[in-house]
Amino acid sequence: MVKIKPKNGELTTKPYRNPKEKTNAFKSIIKKFPEPQKKYKRNVRSKQNGYVFSLAGVHGVGKTTIYEILKTKFSEFHNIRLYPERLRSVPPVPFGSKNKQTAFRAELHYQQQMIERNRLVEKFVSNQRDHIAILDRSPLSTLVYALALNLPKIDYELIYDTYNSVSWQKDYVIYLYAEPKTVMNRIYRRGSLDPQREKWNEDDFKYLLRVLNKYSEIFENFKLASKKRLIKVNTEKSTPHETVEQIIQIISEKSGIRLRNVSIIPNNQKKLTHWLNTSLY
């Protein structure tokens, strides 16, 4: 049926004569409404923008140690900038708390810090094809730890929805890993050097296993491997500098930017498990 308006102003209807007339009638109605905005496709990197690489991995695997070495190596490169996991050095509440409210506030704070960091990264790589940003920890980690901490569904959904509302800079995730027992040994070694971390429950082996499991779950859900955005680096038997060499090679290959005068491995470098015993994360 189609509505017609006679001279008396009252609306009446009459049947469509054929399917074509019905189609044309619907088209005329649709034209009266503005076209819907195209859905923004997140994580799409412009060919004119630089590259973003995020270091990821469970607490204790060596991310911060690797990050600090990279920061030293690239200190004189104007086109490479490194960004810490949070802009505020001292968190307002401890991470990894067994108290659900405290844990939620901590993850929310972490996410807010990463959103602010994302703005800085965007300014640095926007329309700068030769710029490289290296991040200590991926924004995905807020989802990983929120799941591992077993936050209430309503709290996790808030963190998840907030994550999806942000136009994160497309990045390659460099995932550092080692055997769980190896990671736990590293945590024990550094714990005596960093009292603040004792409040983060990082020495809870079951918690560590949950985090590892949730990393795999999140990577699968976001299909990072199929999108060729996930690069795994085994740190089990590597020294920090050897791991850094692998990362530099990955960055060079993925960005197509040749990094000169960076690759230097010290002689007689101690293995990572021993080196962490005398290093502060």
Count how many domains the chain has. 2
User: How does residue 111 score in pLDDT terms, banded at 50, 70 and 90?
Assistant: very high
* Residues 58 and 25 placed together within one structural domain of the fold: no
Nearest to 96 by CA among 176, 150, 35: 150
Task: Flag whether 265 is in a domain.
Answer: yes
* Residues 78 and 170 placed together within one structural domain of the fold: yes
Cβ distance 233 to 227 under 8 Å?
no
> Model confidence over 196-243: pLDDT tens digits?
666 667 778 899 999 999 999 999 999 998 889 999 999 999 999 999
* Residues 112 and 238 placed together within one structural domain of the fold: yes
Question: Angle at Cα 175 formed by Cα 64 and Cα 190, nearest 5°?
Answer: 30
- Position 32 scores a pLDDT of 43
CA 223 to chain CA mean position, Å: 13
Task: Flag whether 250 is in a domain.
Answer: yes
pLDDT of 35 above 90? no
* Residues 146 and 229 placed together within one structural domain of the fold: yes
Task: Flag whether 140 is in a domain.
Answer: yes
* Residues 168 and 218 placed together within one structural domain of the fold: yes
User: How does residue 42 score in pLDDT terms, banded at 50, 70 and 90?
Assistant: very low
- Position 37 scores a pLDDT of 41
Specify the range with the lowest mean pLDDT, choosing from 11-15, 82-86, 230-234. Answer: 11-15
Task: Flag whether 44 is in a domain.
Answer: no
* Residues 68 and 207 placed together within one structural domain of the fold: yes
Task: Flag whether 264 is in a domain.
Answer: yes
pLDDT of 24 above 90? no
Structure tokens at 53: 């690489």
Please state the rounded mean pLDDT for residues 159-175: 94
Please state the rounded mean pLDDT for residues 272-279: 45
Please state the rounded mean pLDDT for residues 176-195: 81
Q: Give the residue carrying structure tokens 């209430």.
A: 152
What are the φ/ψ torsions at residue 245 (nearest 5 degrees)?
-60, -40
- Position 11 scores a pLDDT of 43
* Residues 117 and 200 placed together within one structural domain of the fold: yes
Task: Flag whether 261 is in a domain.
Answer: yes
* Residues 165 and 227 placed together within one structural domain of the fold: yes
* Residues 68 and 3 placed together within one structural domain of the fold: no
Residue that wins the pLDDT comparison between 74 and 202: 74
Structure tokens at 63: 């991310």
- Position 203 scores a pLDDT of 74
Q: What is the mean pLDDT of the chain?
A: 81
pLDDT of 153 above 90? yes
* Residues 14 and 83 placed together within one structural domain of the fold: no
* Residues 171 and 268 placed together within one structural domain of the fold: yes
pLDDT of 182 above 60? yes
pTM: 0.75
Task: Flag whether 40 is in a domain.
Answer: no
User: How does residue 275 score in pLDDT terms, banded at 50, 70 and 90?
Assistant: very low
User: How does residue 251 score in pLDDT terms, banded at 50, 70 and 90?
Assistant: very high
- Position 14 scores a pLDDT of 55
Contact partners, residue 38, CB within 8 Å, separation at least 6:
none
* Residues 70 and 104 placed together within one structural domain of the fold: yes
CATH of the domain at 273: 3.40.50.300
Structure tokens at 51: 């590259």
Task: Flag whether 42 is in a domain.
Answer: no
Enclosing domain of residue 151: 51-278
Please state the rounded mean pLDDT for residues 154-183: 95
Please state the rounded mean pLDDT for residues 137-160: 95
pLDDT of 72 above 90? yes
